Amino acid sequence: MKINKIILAVLLPIMLSSCEQWLDVAPDDQVNEETLFANGDGYRNALNGVYRDMATTQMYGRELTWGFVDVMGWVYDPLTIYYDCSNHEYYDVLLGKYNVQVVKNISEAFWSQAYNSIANCNNIIARIDGENPSKFAGGEEERNMIHGEALALRAYLHFDMLRLFAPAPKVADDKGYIPYYERYGSTSEARASVPVILEKIERDLLKAKDLVAPFDTTGNHKVWMSTRLRIEGGRGSGDSYLPDDLFYMYRGFRMNYYAICATLARVYSYGDKQTLARECAEEVVEATYPQSSYNTQCFTFTGGGSYNSNYKLYDGVIFGLSNQKLIDDYSNYLGTANDIKLPVYYDAIIYNENYDEVDTEDARLTLFSVVDDYYYYSKKYTTQVGNSYGEDLIPMIRLSEMYYIISEALYTEGQTQSGIDKLDEVRMARGIRGGKLQIESLEEMQKAILRDARRDFIGEGQLFYYYKKYDMTPNDWGYTIGRVLPLPDNQLIH
């Protein structure tokens, strides 16, 4: 069952209609909003609308994952785009020409969509605070869950806009770069500095964490974090732990408690607050749920025998979005037409950091297909063999990132061998023999993390942020990618 079936199942048809109208309504039009929020189903509908909009191609359904941002991170073969695809829509993105109009059109579109989603989150937040719990089928627990998810999504969206439109914290100054919108109906806010924005993101995530915790970490709810419920929805009927209300299914497609912890770890790591980042990441890695007479890890590394039927290795996906048209959209970039090819930068993936050895043990190398006997493509967003679980899934945060964060933090804190061992755990889970890493400095540690991240995060829009955070270049050609996107023209007057 796909996530959109949940949305259809829990919402009355009239509320679905209201949601479509509300997403386009002007802030001063209160009629449809009052109708929408008349009961708890309206809040469910409004929150689902935010997730739905985030999964569109303008956002994480393409541009902020396997499209625009992965091109910025040189995930794809630059020679193919440069020499064969001069008419490619991402040609100037690859070259860092972010002021070219075709590039600005794309970046301004996801900026607008992100802040529209933030406005919708702010509407939920403003109305739900103090709302009568009796409006909600799940009472106070559900009210707090919806409130917390909206806060977390507001923080998540601001964080990605910060990472795209502002310099990394290690090189940032005190200038204002992006606005942080906290009030519904506000049409203009002053741009704030990187440290100020990070403080606001942290504040929202910490509050969201407290609000959502009782829902995901108590009683039978813990079992809802298992892969079979979090991602697969119960694998059919007969599971005694299935929620009675379908709105509570598929917690992996929502800002669940551990997704909030993982986002905090990502934010702290980006801001070089290593110990705080490690503590948040460890909470995710150590999360368990009760199964029979023992506890089982919530998030695990997919076994090598399942790679042919689980291209996204979703056992380790902590948070994801759903887009039913994902495979069809991605297939447009697998063809032979020169203007739409997006083959991966395969040499940068299969070789080690010195380009003198192929890691043939790595099971992730099986997750590629070859087109025209030459171009290598990731299978991540293609039709799976054996089952359709996860085909609509857009991975947003996964377990391996938590290990990378812990590894870097331990190394930074002086526990160098422990840090190396933690990174080795990811590699061994992917089939590589342990003990091969030779790391003697923090820079080498960061390069090793980035090296492994290149393989795990293909199509997920994270590589660019690693290069930016580490102030590294994705190639050895002496070419430096642009670090900061220009603000949309209509933002320059503020």
In this model, does residue 475 exceed pLDDT 70?
no
Q: What's residue 96's pLDDT?
A: 86
Q: List CB contacts of 467: < 8 A, sequence separation 6 or more.
A: 73, 450, 473, 474, 481
pLDDT of 493 over the 60 cut: no
Return the structure tokens found at 418.
């422990």
Name the band, by pLDDT with cuts 50, 70 and 90, for residue 27. Answer: very low
- The pLDDT of residue 359 is 74
Question: Of all residues in the chain, what percent are helix, strand and coil, respectively (each to 5)?
Answer: 55, 5, 40
What pLDDT sits at residue 62? 97
pLDDT band at 12 (very low <50, low <70, confident <90, very high): very low
Measured CA to CA, the distance from residue 431 to residue 367 in angstroms comes to 13
Would you call 214 exposed, middle or buried from its count of C-beta atoms within 10 A (0-12, 13-18, 19+)?
middle
pLDDT > 70 in the chain, percent: 85
Q: Which long-range contacts (CB under 8 A, 24 or more apart) does 237-245 make?
A: 245/10, 245/137, 245/138
Return d(Cα 416, Cα 409) in angstroms, integer. Answer: 9
| Cα 475 versus chain centre, distance | 24
pTM summary value? 0.91
Q: How far apart, in whole angstroms, are the C-alpha atoms of residue 106 and residue 431?
A: 38
Amino acid letter, 262: A
At 482, the pLDDT band (50, 70, 90 cuts) reads low
Q: Evaluate if residue 26 carries a pLDDT over 60.
A: no
CA distance 364 to 233: 25
With a cut of 60, say whether residue 30 has pLDDT above it: no
Confidence tier at 87 by pLDDT (50, 70, 90): confident
Which pLDDT score is estimated for 335? 67
State the pLDDT at residue 489: 87
Cα 306 vs. chain centroid, distance in angstroms?
23
For residue 374, the one-letter residue type is Y
Structure tokens at 189: 């806010």
Residue 52 banded pLDDT, cuts 50, 70, 90: very high
Please indicate whether residue 106 or residue 475 has the higher confidence score (pLDDT). Answer: 106
Is pLDDT above 50 for 43? yes
pLDDT in tens, 453-473: 999 999 999 999 999 999 888
Q: What percent of the chain has pLDDT over 90?
A: 65
Instruction: Please give the pLDDT value at position 25.
Output: 34
pLDDT above 50 for 17: no
Q: How far apart are CA 470 and CA 474, in angstroms?
A: 11
pLDDT digits (tens, 9 = 90+) for 396-439: 999 999 999 999 999 999 999 999 999 999 999 999 999 999 99
pLDDT at residue 340, as a whole number? 64
pLDDT in tens, 208-220: 999 999 999 988 8
pLDDT of 355 reads 53
- Does residue 249 have a pLDDT over 80? yes
Show the tokens assigned to 457. 């995060």
Per residue in 215-248, is it b (16+ CB within 10 Å) or e — as a string?
Answer: bbeeeebbbbbbbbbbbbbbeeeeeebbbeebbb
Mean pLDDT lowest among 278-287, 301-310, 484-493: 484-493
Q: Angle of helix 139-165 relative to helix 101-128, nearest 10 degrees?
A: 150
The Cα–Cα gap between 255 and 263 comes to 9
Q: How confident is the model at residue 20 (pLDDT cuts 50, 70, 90)?
A: very low
Domains, in order of start, for the chain: 3-477 (1.25.40.390)
Please count the residues of the chain: 494
What is the average pLDDT score of the chain? 87
